[in-house]
Structures are given as C-alpha cells and as structure tokens.
Amino acid sequence: MTAQIARSQPRRGRQLKTTLTRCPQLIETAQRLRYRVFSEEYGSDLGATTPGIDADAYDALCDHLIVTDAGTGEVVATTRILHQSDVPSVGGFYSSGEFDLSNLGKLPGTLAELGRTCVHPDYRNGGTITLLWAALAEYLDSRNVDYLIGCASISMADGGMKAWRIARHLQNEYLAAPAFRVTPLRALPHLTRAEHEHSDDVPALIRAYMRLGARVCGEPCWDPDFRCADLLVVLEVSKLTARYSRHFMGRTA
C-alpha cells in the first residue's frame, strides 16, 4: 500500500512530499536513513544483518510515513506507526520491551505507537517536521486513534548528565496524569543524576511532541542498544493543541 497523504510543501527551494506506505522498497529507503541517523549520531549498536540498514520485526506490520525531497528523490525524514489492531501479530508494542504498559492497557479507546522517528541533519527545520506531523495527524484521524504513544530518545554520549537533566525538566513541566504512568523495565542508573533540572537543550523532536500536547509518562528507561535514555510519551489525540488542530485538520478551537 502506498498513498500520498499530504500536499507537497516548498521549503527554501526544496519541494517536500509525504508518503504513507508498506511497500518494502520504500521502507528500505527509510531504514537506510534510520541507520545513518541512529548509528552515526547515537553510536547505536543496531545489530544490522544487512550493512547500512536498520530493520526489525515491527517494520512489516507498521505503516511508514516518509518525507522525500522531490527534487533529489532523497528520503529526508521518516517515522512508523504501529496500530493497536496489528499488535497481536508481533506480541506487543515495541515500547513494552522497555516499560510496563499495564496502565495504558486499561485506557478506553484505541492506541497506536510512533517509532523510529528521524530527520536528515540537513532538513531539521520547522517545515520538514511540520509536514511530517501533518501527515501523522491525518493518519490518526483516519484510523480513529485515541492515544498515541512512543519513546522519546536522548543521547547518553556524555554519560547521562544531559539525559537526566532533560528528563527531570520534562517531568516537571509535562508529566502525564496518573492513569498514563508507566514504569521502566531497565531504569536509568541514578549515579548520573544531574543536580539541576532546568534544560535548554531538549532535542527538537521532543520539543515538537510537547507542542503537539504530548506528556511524559514517568521515569526514563536505559536503552543499551541505542545507547540512549528513553522517555515514554503519550498524546491524547482529542487534546491536540488548538494551533495544531487548525493547521493539521482544519478544526477550530
């Protein structure tokens, strides 16, 4: 399945377009971008069976959103969505390997999980991320998703000080209600806890999640394969901020 789900958007001479797909050939182009970003920037041990490709068992069951530069044909951003209806085929959400999701299983409505989100370094601007979120919002609306969950990653390259600082800042400012709380299965070592919690270096993708109305579900988890700290975040789709509701779906506040 391949479908265009958002209009092309020019950006500083670039023409970007989004595609929703399960086409193996297109997914491979996204997997190559994922490998580049995660291995080069996070120093992740991806355990790739094919050189230069980040792939796992979830890819075949997910809908993949891909942003392409129409001028060059290059894939410049990607994310994947695992809908709750496809979860039984893979045994659980990806994040269930990092967190106890028992509370989320009690929520009324439908869940979907966002994962493997990344943007090419040369395209990390508001236009690219906005276009990706526009396509995502249309997907959530069309599939009647009530809650979107996903892991927000923070590099541990400095040993964890930055990760703890950002995690504490997000928990102070954007903590979810008790019904959405989760527990990490592999807690981040507290030996690296930062003394102060204010942070001005929250990664751009996490800032975008928070602007959408997402909330942090609790303590971070240590992901040794990706060498990062993960925070589970949840977005109640019905509570998208007025700004994004109008921009993405033509709704009024």
Q: Quote the domain boundaries for residue 125.
A: 2-249
Per the structure, how many domains does the chain have?
Answer: 1
Q: Quote the CA–CA distance of 141 and 87 in Å, as a whole number.
A: 19
Model pLDDT, residue 11: 47
Model pLDDT, residue 6: 44
Spacing of C-alpha 17 from chain mean position: 19
> What percent of the chain stands above pLDDT 70?
82
Contact by Cβ (8 Å): 182, 100: yes
| Tokens of residue 101, six digits | 């999701």
Model pLDDT, residue 1: 41
Q: Quote the CA–CA distance of 171 and 167 in Å, as a whole number.
A: 6
Q: What are the distances in angstroms from CA 6 to CA 65, 95, 111, 139, 159?
A: 10, 28, 22, 10, 40
Contact by Cβ (8 Å): 16, 67: yes
Q: Which residue has the tokens 């509570």?
A: 239
User: Please, what is the Cα angle at 80 between 210 and 168, to 5 degrees?
Assistant: 30
Return the CATH number at 52.
Answer: 3.40.630.30
38: confidence class by pLDDT, cuts 50, 70, 90? confident
